[in-house]
Amino acid sequence: MNHRTLGRTGIQVSPLCLGTMMLGAWGNTDPGECGRIVATALDAGINMIDTADVYAFGESEEIVGRAIRSRRDEVVLATKFGGPMDDSPGRRGNSRRWIMRAVEDSLRRLGTDHIDLYQVHRPDPLTDVDETLSALTDLVRQGKVRAIGTSSFPAEEVVEAQWIAERRHRERFATEQLSYSILARHAEAAVLPVAERYDLGVLVWSPLNGGWLTGKYRRDAVPPADSRATRNADHFDFRAEDVRARKLDLVEKLEALAAEAGLSLIHLALGFVLSHRAVTAAVIGPRTLEQLKGQLGAEAVRLPPDVLDAIDALVPPGVNVSPDDVGHVPAPLTDPALRRR
């Protein structure tokens, strides 16, 4: 598997990154299969694993830690902090107080003395980004963290963080992890160009749009019982009738396009995000070993211009089929107190 440089870090990563949100109580509860998923990914040449403390509230990190214990040096290990770990207001967010506790918890669960990429899971409107960068800079200097990054930051906050790091001599964010797929192309308008301008490594989450781009959902058919659409219908657009109808129509057309190109729909979708010049790696999040095997090999896909043009004709650049596929909604849009005097 060919490798790509993660922004300016010099770290070499595979074009496919194993995402582990589905390992544990949120997805696959079989510890043996979870371990086989990690081992199979590593054996196939994937050298980057992405998790988060909030995934199954620490269980995903524990599964990853056990699975890589004898292979730690092979792995570029990434995790995230900031999501609510319980109902306590002190166990979430991007404050120095929580970061210093969260990193120790993640190191313990992962069974390692350092994290290769430590990412801010979402922006925190209650915390000055300089406070966050100051704490993360200390972690880098202590050797507990090798590089730092963000996830689902809007373009203006990516720029602000770069400016603050330069002016105040903080460690700079080296990566951005964002939502991007054929059906969710909002990042093309601003975040991807900004990431390219600052030479950030870009990791793409949900490149299969929550399972829509696997072909598992069909018109006039009940979603598979074990699918995310069944477990979380609201989140995966199955109760938004207009969005559901539009996605089902597009999936049929994309499947035909993939067949003409001699590809599976999954490989077409992964090949699409990997073809963007700013993207470093696609984060794949299989729940089963079978799902993982269906995604392996996509790093070798090279979509020709006519196929990319055909995709653009179906879903224009910058367009989201579902408005909910952004990944982060700024607080002023959800909290009336931030819009009114």
pLDDT value at residue 311: 98
The residue ranges of DSSP E strands in the chain, in sequence order, are 4-5, 12-13, 16-19, 48-50, 76-81, 115-120, 145-151, 175-179, 201-205, 281-284
> pLDDT tens digits for 275-326?
999 999 999 999 999 999 999 999 999 999 999 999 999 999 999 999 888 8
Q: Which residues contact 90 (CB under 8 A, 6 or more apart)?
A: 97, 98
What backbone torsions phi and psi does residue 287 show, to the nearest 5 degrees? -95, -25
Q: Show the DSSP H helices in 124-231 as ranges.
A: 129-142, 155-167, 191-197, 228-231
Instruction: Give CA–CA dist 19/195, Å, rounded.
Output: 21
Which two structure tokens, joined as six digits, stand for 246?
A: 């539009």
Class for the domain spanning 4-336: alpha beta
HSE-up of residue 188 (Cα within 13 Å, Cβ side) = 18
> pLDDT tens digits for 95-111?
999 999 999 999 999 99
- Report yes or no: 135 and 99 within 8 Å, Cβ to Cβ: yes
pLDDT value at residue 234: 61
Question: Residue with structure tokens 């067949």?
Answer: 259
pLDDT value at residue 217: 85
Structural domain boundaries in the chain: 4-336
pLDDT value at residue 68: 98
Classify the C-alpha dihedral 181-16-306-277 as positive or negative.
positive
HSE-up of residue 135 (Cα within 13 Å, Cβ side) = 20
Q: Are strands 12-13 and 4-5 parallel, antiparallel or unpaired?
A: antiparallel
Catalytic residue among 55, 118, 180, 217: 55
β-sheet bridge partners, residue 184: 181, 320
Nearest to 6 by CA among 234, 173, 227: 173
Active site residue 55: yes
pLDDT value at residue 224: 73
pLDDT beneath 50: ranges in the chain:
none
Any idea what DSSP says for residue 9?
A: S
pLDDT value at residue 231: 67
Instruction: Give CA–CA dist 118/76, Å, rounded.
Output: 11
pLDDT value at residue 220: 74
**pTM to 2 decimal places:** 0.94
